[in-house]
Amino acid sequence: MAIKVGTVFNYLQLPNVSKFAFVINKRQDGTLIQKGLFVYTNSSEGFLIGTIEEIVLLNEYFADALTIKAFNNNNNPNILKGLFPSDDFEFAIAIVKCLGLIIFKDKDNQEIVRVQRMSYPASPGKEVYMVEEEVLNKFLGFDSKAGLNLGRVKVTNSEALVNMNRLLNKHFAILSISGGGKSYLTSVLIEELLIRNKDFGTPSIILFDVHGEYLYLKDIPKFKDRVKIQDISYFQIGVPKLSAYSFKKYQEQISSVQLRELSKYIKKLRKEKQKKNQYSLTDIIKVVEEETDGNKSTKQALIGWLSELERLTLFGSQENPSLDKVVNNQEITIFNFQKEVSIRKKQIIVDYICNRLFNLRRNDNIAPFLLVVEEAHQFCPEAAHSKAISKPIIEMLAREGRKFMACLCLISQRPKKLSTTALSQCNSKLVLSIKNPYDLKHLMDSSEAITKEYANIISSLGVGEMLLMGNAVNYPVFIDVRKRKFKLRDEAKSLAQFCLDWQKKELI
Ligand SMILES: Nc1ncnc2c1ncn2[C@@H]1O[C@H](COP(=O)(O)OP(=O)(O)OP(=O)(O)O)[C@@H](O)[C@H]1O
Ligand SMILES: [Mg+2]
């Protein structure tokens, strides 16, 4: 049964189309009325849902300065209180921001047909009720049957069962200051995808793990078979998969004349049947060296650039791991970048993997996937001067991936440094605490749903508190991110404990 919380009344200029006020019923059953609570009233258009935006306590008795003076002058205010029951004059009112109308299919309010905008105010005198969990889930766009449980909705404390299709398909970004809980939230999301019922359909996950934070997943018995770790030290780019243009991408100094020459040599190698399309960068260099005609200095320069690339020890005759094999439904492949320090090398690898995955997916050769990019500002920065090799492909994935069921999740602690093109394509945003005013402004610029009011709340969020907004939900909603079900070994260890462990190690 619906819990009644108050009655709509006229207060200042309210009710109007976007707001109404109600007098809060004296608490009888311990139901706590709080800011942020979802309530509804029957307006002439249907079920009008809103959230409590403000609570005001009024007491007519204390509205007059003279009374307060008399109250304070008396040596024993309790006597006065006995004479005048000032507490009885106190009442609380709530100001509600209207969110929308629910139109039900039938009279018993079971099936929601649609949610629409309101065009007429609530009626004074009408009762106000708390929104029941089931209705709220439908109203917010949660998926009670197969949703990803990311935590609990603030105030109402109901489970936040985010619809997977809505969250993943139009890309999403996880943003906060360092230590705000982005990686934690990501692992909660990964847990949800890995334990999701098989019959519901779940994409493959590919994750670029810059700090080795997700390797613990492999140690969890339940996930053992579904987690694959690929150490970047063993990563090999398959040279036969690269066009001459890709080499220019990785080695900017290659001129257009050299590029033309290079594509000639690559064509020649591809024709060599005995190589079976398995040639390496050394083979290309050899062909250039052996070629008798052509401009000598062009060749020399080209050899120089290619040798420099060769020294990165990234280019082999075959790709390793084979990217068409690593993408499997409901499995996660973690590319561990922990030991790699060269940002250029990291960007080349990310560029290669993204290009390959995108092409494979476009031709329907691999399963639909979710690509999670940690520290996305390193791979897809905004500033024109920090030219990142991997930026164009990430922007392309952000723009076009959706059509091919290639989903993108960008994680960053500096939204301002992240490409606006990529960020604005991330339709859903999971925003944890952000304090930096420049980052907040950038976020407001990239998403019109983030108003000044939301920006203020975002800056005051604590660790593990997030605002979910965009395509994943019908209305922005604040969520307490749940605890991980499966724990990282060192999670509870403090800095002091790490120091003590180190001391012990030194003694040995
Ligand atoms: N929902 C949560 N519940 C409990 N603890 C949390 C939660 N979210 C974050 N934490 C704690 O906060 C710490 C920092 O979180 P996390 O490593 O996810 O931050 P981050 O945003 O990824 O930081 P960085 O940008 O530096 O990578 C974690 O070690 C964890 O203990
Ligand atoms: Mg992190």
Angle between helix axes 391-400 and 343-362 (nearest 10 degrees) is 30
Mean pLDDT value across residues 138-144: 91
Considering only 8-22, 357-371, 474-488, which range has the smallest mean pLDDT? 474-488
Q: Is the pLDDT of residue 29 over 60?
A: no
Q: Closest Cα to residue 262, out of 295, 221, 219, 222? A: 295
One CATH from 3.40.50.300, 3.40.190.10, 3.10.580.10, 3.30.1950.10 for 159-235+321-499: 3.40.50.300
Q: Kindly report the number of other CB atoms within 10 A of residue 290's CB atom.
A: 8
Ligand 1 centroid from CA 344, angstroms:
28
Q: Is the pLDDT of residue 172 over 80?
A: yes
Residue with the larger pLDDT of the pair 427 and 276:
427
Q: Whose CA is nearest to atom 2 of ligand 1?
A: 464
- Cα 117 to chain center, whole Å? 27
Does the Cβ of 240 fall within 6 Å of ligand 1?
A: no
Q: Whose CA is nearest to atom 18 of ligand 1?
A: 181
Does the Cβ of 414 fall within 6 Å of ligand 1?
A: no
Instruction: List pLDDT tens digits, range 383-436.
Output: 776 678 999 999 999 999 999 999 999 999 998 899 988 998 999 999 999 998
pLDDT band at 275 (very low <50, low <70, confident <90, very high): low
Q: Is the pLDDT of residue 228 over 60?
A: yes
Does the Cβ of 178 fall within 6 Å of ligand 1?
A: yes
pLDDT at 489: 64
- Give the number of the atom of ligand 1 that is nearest the alpha carbon of residue 176: 21
pLDDT at 364: 93
- For residues 209 and 372, the answer to whether their CB atoms sit within 8 Å is no
Mean pLDDT value across residues 251-279: 83
Tokens of 270: 């591809």
pLDDT at 331: 93
Does the Cβ of 180 fall within 6 Å of ligand 1?
A: yes
Does the Cβ of 413 fall within 6 Å of ligand 1?
A: yes
pLDDT at 410: 96
Does the Cβ of 415 fall within 6 Å of ligand 1?
A: no
Single pTM value for the model: 0.89
Candidates 149, 174, 177, 183: which one to mutate for ligand 1, based on the most atoms within 8 Å of Cβ?
183
Q: Whose CA is nearest to atom 26 of ligand 1?
A: 178
Ligand 2 centroid from CA 415, angstroms:
14
Beta-carbon contacts of 199 under 8 Å, excluding residues fewer than 6 positions away, are none
Instruction: List pLDDT tens digits, range 147-168.
Output: 999 999 999 899 999 999 999 9
Domain positions in the chain are: 4-140, 159-235+321-499, 242-312
Q: Is the pLDDT of residue 491 over 70?
A: no
| Radius of gyration (C-alpha) of the chain in whole angstroms | 30
Q: Is the pLDDT of residue 462 over 60?
A: yes
Mean pLDDT value across residues 67-96: 73
pLDDT band at 208 (very low <50, low <70, confident <90, very high): very high
Ligand 1 centroid from CA 180, angstroms:
5
Does the Cβ of 481 fall within 6 Å of ligand 1?
A: yes
Q: Is the pLDDT of residue 80 over 70?
A: no
pLDDT at 447: 78
Beta-carbon contacts of 174 under 8 Å, excluding residues fewer than 6 positions away, are 182, 185, 186, 409, 410, 411, 412, 430, 432
Q: What share of the chain is helix, strand, coil (3-state, %, to 5)?
A: 40, 25, 35
pLDDT band at 487 (very low <50, low <70, confident <90, very high): confident
